[in-house]
Structure 1
């Protein structure tokens, strides 16, 4: 699971967020829908997102991931099995629909007519009494739909599986901070396998994620983090998550230069999802899972915050990475990173 939190900076980021939000709206990069955290995106904004997606694809190409794409909704029973509601009931989004007869339809229309007499914020919700839950819910994290799919395939191969997944996700947390959207995209690489395979995968992506942000000429800070678990018992779970170092986030100032927003998240779930869906390794052991999540809108917002609202004025190397030979630039960065790592290891060996 990838739940980006930026908990430490939330209180500090909110006051200054409207200023940056207003700049984005005035420039036409985001489109106001009248609902906090729900925005349209301009062609320029979407172009940056797509260019980032290309760079991320090259960054993980050598892992030969299986590419899967799902709609931003998942089966309700899978959602229930995930235990998301135990931890984040306040963030979940369900999908309701009219399932009644002609009489129910007439009641709905009368209630709707009465509601529409009032202004937006004062409208009655009585018409929604005619709605019933459907068998689908909004996807809270891009990786959630893949676990039941993997379980149905049977035991994992000896080298496990790596999945590349991208989806719109929903979190019910309306905010004036443009970095806290209610509907947003996550690009994830998800690893399923042994504990050793998953831990190595996470460390690799801490390095590669940091490389991408460095190539984008954005500030890089990776720190221990926890998910925003709900309720009185949530603090205990969050403290445990930190104590076990299960989650790290890459933080970048976005809405407020004094605060930081989680733009990438590196997560080790241990055998949580493997146990829920009975995903087995080749030897029959319960599979461990982990993921790296890229907040596509958040990284894009960080680029606009640090390089300006005019993409044509962005630094030449950033433009070359996104609109030039992306594959070559990423490969060059990877080679430099690996060379530096080799020198570091050799130096450590000499000192020993």
Structure 2
């Protein structure tokens, strides 16, 4: 099992750098990840990027979800909730593997006969005789791909489901979706989890409708983060496309201003983590799944994604590990009359821009 603290693991990975850092007493200070684990806010499973969550952590996530619901209530979205897996054929159609093959997670199961089961057990016995980490995975040769894969982003199941209904209604559609997602990206950064939750509002409609939706949510997302007393920094961004052609695609994405991110320092004060993203997909998913507007044109899509774990971690980073000591305004938003606080902030914003 991989149960070392971040400080210890970094030292093991680079002894020379660790020795140099040892001259500085600050190098021995626990990291944010170490503090979260020591306090029991996150639970170490022995695998980097895969954590259990404490009751305190989940309570904050739940209350954030309530605030986000009130923030988007006037959009009258259709609420959809999906499991953290989707149809393999829908995943294949999405073209996710063209851009992020290194992040995808497939689901395999044993589909063999008695003889295959015996081979599996023999391989498993051999593996268990080895040390904890890096065991021989030979037993997995008896596994076969299933018809489902891990969901890479909460909005991915939405498009094929809406497509099967036929053309969009007049004015398009807005969907409120929440799902656990998976990305094969093990890291010591607690904000870069392999299994995490995304809350999204997804817009399907004309280009003008989707662009207006994204701008509205850039403003509302920034408003929510301000209410949480966290630093607000929205910047043009791009996805981490894979391979040699990835930089070309990323540059194009930035040039067309298709993606913005709201950045907050989480793991350490010197770096910033994307906690919200605001995306315009143009007609990418509309073409793939033949999504049509009411007038027969290809639907454009966009989404705002809230990284639930990342926002929660940002709160612990900036306000401390004791939620009872968080600023009064933050506690009023999360543990008070959330609907009123959100509505007052929205009304004040509308009044200020009128």
CA–CA separation in structure 1 for the residues paired with 2:137 and 2:102: 19
Q: Which residue of 2 aligns with 1:23?
A: 35
Count of matched residue pairs: 328
Report the 3-state secondary structure (helix = DSSP H, G, I; strand = E; otherwise coil) of the residue aligned with 1:119. coil
Q: Matches of 1:83 and 1:68 in 2, distance apart? A: 23
Does structure 2 conserve the Cα–Cα contact (< 8 Å) formed by 1:18 and 1:177?
A: no
What is aligned with 1:116?
128
Answer yes or no: is 1:270 the counterpart of 2:282. Answer: yes
Shift in Å, 1:121: 1.3
Query: Aligned to 2:258, which of 241, 246, 257?
Result: 246
Please say if 1:88 is aligned against 2:81: no
Report the TM-score when normalising by structure 2.
0.92
Once residues 88 and 132 of structure 2 are traced to their aligned partners in structure 1, the CA distance between those partners, rounded to angstroms, is 30
Q: Deviations over 1:24-78 (max 9, x none)?
A: 0001000000000000000000000000000000000000000000000000000
Which residue of 2 is the match for residue 8 of structure 1? none
Q: Cα distance, 1:18 vs. partner? A: 7.2
Query: Which of residues 49, 60, 65 in structure 1 aligns to 2:72?
Result: 60
Matches within 5 A, 1:202-351: 202-342=214-354
Q: Which has the higher contact order (CA 8 A, sep 6+)?
A: 1
* Structure-to-structure mapping, 1:135-174, within 5 angstroms: 135-174=147-186
1:347 aligned residue: none
Residue 242 of structure 2 aligns to a residue whose secondary structure is coil
Unaligned runs of 5+ in 1: 1-14, 343-352
**Structure-2 separation of matches of 1:159 and 1:338:** 23
User: What's the offset of the Cα at 1:339?
Assistant: 1.2
Question: Unaligned stretches of 5+ in structure 2?
Answer: 1-20, 22-26
- Give the Cα–Cα distance (whole angstroms) in 1 for the partners of residues 72 and 249 of structure 2: 31
Structure 2 counterpart of 1:183: 195
Distance 1:156 1:227 in 2: 28
Q: Is the partner of 2:147 in helix, strand or coil?
A: strand
C-alpha root-mean-square deviation of aligned residues, in Å? 1.2
Moved more, 138-147 or 17-26: 17-26
